[in-house]
């Protein structure tokens, strides 16, 4: 007798090739509309499935997990970050959690450099002039930005993405510095040409560009708070492609408005889509809609990792990308 297929619920539309493969392997319920599930829909899903495949837009907290049925055994997250999932509570209930690490490293690092260049070279302002038909021709003093070569880049969080940013920045002639929970091995530092700062305050005060590449955890919430933002040089810029909660968005907005910080390139926001309206008004900010990892190749690879995690679990083994509370 063949084994009964796992019941899998996917909370968002995924690339067609991923959805097709999921349907071939499991008893899968796909999302018809490309919008987040409501709280009630999530509650119903976790009561009736063996495996839930959520995304960052789904809040899987202790209250929701308390209503999970006995069938739920795996939360196979479609994404690397799991700050939207109460992993500890899931573990207590005997529910495993997996994610998709390493897949989006290069894509996110590319976008970090794109934002860095866009802010320092004032690209959106130039585009706006062109689209409004306001360009009168070349002028010596028009839209003067800053050269990135020779500038000091301070990377906050030197994991896989931070190191990928460091490699790109070095190719642009930037001086690479970093602050991390743990110092890298000497040979890794040397390969990256990176200088370690034990004191985040001291690093922030001396950098021309700050790149946020650390995850959101209780210890990194508002790590770049008002006091630390004030340490930045007036001509420095900050780029964030990690998690919005790492920066105090209101404090950043105030300082950008007062020109106490030269500029910012942001792909993520403290309150999701509810962005400070004053932030939208500024001409020294480049705002993107959380698209740092948005490549077709990356999204498909994420799906492949989800499938491997579910299939390995279905075969009676630990998912290769299982997340445990001690990892957070």
pLDDT tens-digit readout, 166-201:
999 999 999 999 999 999 999 999 999 999 999 999
Q: Which of 250, 255, 169, 260 is nearest to 211 (CA)?
A: 169
Question: What percent of the chain stands above pLDDT 90?
Answer: 93
- Helix boundaries (H) for the chain: 16-25, 39-48, 62-65, 87-92, 105-120, 123-131, 160-171, 186-192, 200-206, 226-229, 249-257, 277-280, 296-314
Q: Which residue has the tokens 């070095």?
A: 170
- Ordered by where they begin, the domains of the chain are 7-103+295-327 (3.40.50.720), 105-287 (3.40.50.720)
Query: What is the per-residue pLDDT for 69?
Result: 84
Query: What is the per-residue pLDDT for 4?
Result: 84
Strand 152-156 and strand 209-212: the pairing is parallel
Phi, psi of 27, rounded to the nearest 5 degrees: -85, 90
Which residues of the chain fall below pLDDT 50?
A: 1
Distance from C-alpha of 48 to C-alpha of 313, rounded to nearest angstrom: 18
Is there a contact between 277 and 304 (Cβ–Cβ < 8 Å)? no
Distance from C-alpha of 276 to C-alpha of 322, rounded to nearest angstrom: 35
Helix, strand, coil shares of the chain, percent, nearest 5, are: 40, 15, 45
Query: What is the per-residue pLDDT for 1?
Result: 43
Distance from C-alpha of 204 to C-alpha of 68, rounded to nearest angstrom: 44
- Write down how long the chain is: 328
Phi, psi of 7, rounded to the nearest 5 degrees: -90, 120
Report the phi/psi class of residue 291: left, alpha or beta, with left for phi > 0 and alpha for psi in -120 to 50: alpha
CB neighbours (10 Å) of residue 202?
A: 13
């Amino acid at each position: 007798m063949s084994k009964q297929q796992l019941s899998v619920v996917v909370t968002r539309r995924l690339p067609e090739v991923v959805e097709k493969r999921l349907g071939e392997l499991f008893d899968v319920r796909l999302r018809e509309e490309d919008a987040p599930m409501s709280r009630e829909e999530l509650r119903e899903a976790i009561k009736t499935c063996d495996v839930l495949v959520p995304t960052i837009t789904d809040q899987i907290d202790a209250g929701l997990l308390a209503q999970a049925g006995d069938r739920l055994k795996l939360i196979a997250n479609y994404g690397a970050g799991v700050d939207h999932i109460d992993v500890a509570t899931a573990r207590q209930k005997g529910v495993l959690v997996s994610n998709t690490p390493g897949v989006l490293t290069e894509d996110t690092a590319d976008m970090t450099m794109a934002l860095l260049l866009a802010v320092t070279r004032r690209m959106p302002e130039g585009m706006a002039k062109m689209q409004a038909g306001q360009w009168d021709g070349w002028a010596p003093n028009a839209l003067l930005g800053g050269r990135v070569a020779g500038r000091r880049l301070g990377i906050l969080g030197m994991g896989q993405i931070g190191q990928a940013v460091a490699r790109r920045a070095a190719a642009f002639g930037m001086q690479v510095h970093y602050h991390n929970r743990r110092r890298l091995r000497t040979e890794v530092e040397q390969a990256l040409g990176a200088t370690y700062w034990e004191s985040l305050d001291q690093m922030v005060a001396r950098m021309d560009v700050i790149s946020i590449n650390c995850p959101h955890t209780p210890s990194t919430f508002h790590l770049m708070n008002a006091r630390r933002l004030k340490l930045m040089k007036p001509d420095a810029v900050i780029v964030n492609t990690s998690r919005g909660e790492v920066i105090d968005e209101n404090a950043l907005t105030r300082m950008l408005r007062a020109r106490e910080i030269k500029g910012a390139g942001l792909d993520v926001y403290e309150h999701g889509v509810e962005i400070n309206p004053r932030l939208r008004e500024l001409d020294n900010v480049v705002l993107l809609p959380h698209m740092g990892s948005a490549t077709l190749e990356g999204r498909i690879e994420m799906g492949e990792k989800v499938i491997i995690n579910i299939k390995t679990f279905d075969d009676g083994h630990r998912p290769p990308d299982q997340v445990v509370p001690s990892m957070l």
